[in-house]
Amino acid sequence: MKELIWEYRYVILLVVGAIIYTVLEWGSVKGKILNAIVAAKDLAKDKVLHGGKAQEDWVVSRVYMILPTRVRLFLSEELLRKIIKYLYQKSMDLLDDGKVNNSFTVDTSTIGINDKTE
């Protein structure tokens, strides 16, 4: 077992390093996503983006474009779309009553990011 680990030590170090980097970089990525969601909401209020799907597509393309290449290596656009939907759901739940307790639910699969502004 030790010999196997020793043979693949560089691969193991690379994978562990990538995981650690991704975890440390997550806060920055999350902040960029939430800022893009707020910007999309503002654009919808200004009648630039129409409908939730347009907002969702704008946020995904915008965030994916500004992410560092090293993050894009581990994050596909579809995975980013799922993360954005999750963060949108949690942020709306937090804004609902000040707690993350699943008191606010919206089916983001059919209407995109925007739940009320069409």
* Domain membership flag for residue 46: yes
So what's the pLDDT on residue 114?
45
pTM, two decimals, is 0.60
* Domain membership flag for residue 62: yes
* Domain membership flag for residue 40: yes
Number of domains observed in the structure of the chain: 1
Mean pLDDT, the chain, as a whole number? Answer: 78
Question: In sequence order, what are the residues at sequence separation of 6 or more whose Cβ sits closer than 8 angstroms to the Cβ of residue 117?
Answer: 41, 44, 45, 52
So what's the pLDDT on residue 117?
41
* Domain membership flag for residue 50: yes
* Domain membership flag for residue 1: no
Euclidean distance between CA atoms 31 and 10, whole angstroms = 32
* Domain membership flag for residue 6: no
Confidence check: pLDDT of 92 > 50: yes
* Domain membership flag for residue 118: no
* Domain membership flag for residue 69: yes
| DSSP per position, 4-66 | HHHHTHHHHHHHHHHHHHHHHHHHHHHHHHHHHHHHHHHHHHTTSS-SHHHHHHHHHHHHHHH
* Domain with 37 in it: 27-111
Is the alpha carbon torsion for 50, 52, 55, 61 positive or negative?
Answer: negative
So what's the pLDDT on residue 105?
67
